[in-house]
């Protein structure tokens, strides 16, 4: 019931998110198609870390605009130039605390990262804000070193959104159902932890976008509706 908005790695003035006229069109389109404004992914920080003036200014501005059009989940992908490691957790946590103070009451700032689960928990404890958690990207998590599906149980109280995609071991997105990601196990664990939030499907498009989209949607609905069996 929503399309996740995407703010590119390089600033794009033509992105409707950045103009009053563009946002009006977004809202009109959403109403026409019975969609809600729900989430946005701030990919700009992949090339412009939040510890830089440019990155910080971008995130603050994007948060303010997101308030205007009532986007609730704001995703920060810590990849590329913004990749997290044990050495930069402190400085990143301080910056994220500041962003947390800018959020509206119903908004959450969600980190998407390939950090090991113990360092994710360490970072979130450093931040110590209820409006900051994680967006769990199963495709990205699946290819990290020492991954186990059971980590989602350890991270469950911090997960407020999920990206559904599959990747091969070289890190390239592949079609849903190729089963590098075992979605049966993944959804079994989601039911076990009583996950109640939403999903964004991030799939390769293929030659027939509409057909692939419907196929993916039906596939995930079948997994969501499965009964929990021990």
Give one DSSP letter per residue of 41-106, joined into a string. EEGGGGTS-TTSHHHHHHHHHHHHHHHHTT--EEEEE--GGG---TTTHHHHHHHHHHHHHHS-TT
Asked if 110 contacts 123 with a C-beta cutoff of 8 angstroms, the reply is no
Q: What is the pLDDT of residue 155?
A: 98
CA–CA separation, 218 vs 57, rounded Å? 40
Band of the pLDDT at 229, cuts 50, 70, 90?
Answer: low
Strand-pairing partners, residue 41, are 6, 75
Check residue 41 and give its pLDDT.
98
| pTM of structure | 0.94
pLDDT at 104 over 60: yes
pLDDT digits (tens, 9 = 90+) for 121-171: 999 999 999 999 999 999 999 999 999 999 999 999 999 999 999 998 888
SS3 of 132, please? strand
Write down the residue that tokens 């009964």 correspond to: 227
Give yes or no for residue 94 having a pLDDT over 90.
yes
Residue 228 pLDDT class (50, 70, 90 cuts):
low
Across 30-35, average pLDDT: 95
Task: List Cα–Cα distances, 166 to 37, 157, 175, in angstroms.
Answer: 25, 23, 7
In tens, the pLDDT along 175-226 reads 998 778 999 999 999 999 999 999 999 988 888 999 999 999 999 999 998 8
pLDDT tens digit string along 43-55?
999 999 999 999 9
Rounded average pLDDT over 22-45: 96
């Amino acid at each position: 019931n929503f399309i996740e908005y995407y703010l590119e790695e390089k600033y794009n003035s033509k992105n409707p998110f950045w103009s009053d006229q563009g946002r009006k069109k977004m809202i009109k389109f959403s109403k026409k198609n019975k969609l809600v404004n729900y989430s946005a992914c701030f990919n700009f920080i992949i090339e412009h870390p939040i510890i830089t003036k440019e990155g910080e200014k971008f995130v603050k501005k994007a948060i303010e605009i997101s308030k205007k059009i009532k986007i609730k989940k704001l995703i920060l992908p810590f990849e590329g130039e913004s990749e997290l490691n044990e050495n930069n957790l402190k400085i990143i946590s301080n910056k994220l605390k500041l962003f947390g103070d800018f959020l509206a009451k119903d908004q959450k700032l969600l980190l998407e990262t390939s950090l090991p689960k113990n360092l994710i928990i360490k970072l979130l404890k450093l931040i110590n804000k209820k409006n900051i958690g994680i967006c769990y990207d199963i495709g990205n998590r699946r290819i990290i070193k020492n991954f186990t599906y059971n980590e989602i149980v350890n991270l469950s109280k911090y997960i407020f959104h999920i990206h559904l995609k599959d990747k091969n071991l070289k890190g390239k997105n592949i079609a849903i159902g190729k089963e590098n990601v075992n979605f049966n196990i993944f959804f079994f664990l989601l039911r076990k932890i009583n996950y109640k939030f939403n999903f964004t499907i991030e799939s390769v498009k293929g030659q027939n976008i509409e057909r692939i989209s419907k196929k993916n949607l039906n596939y995930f609905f079948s997994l969501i509706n499965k009964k929990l069996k021990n």
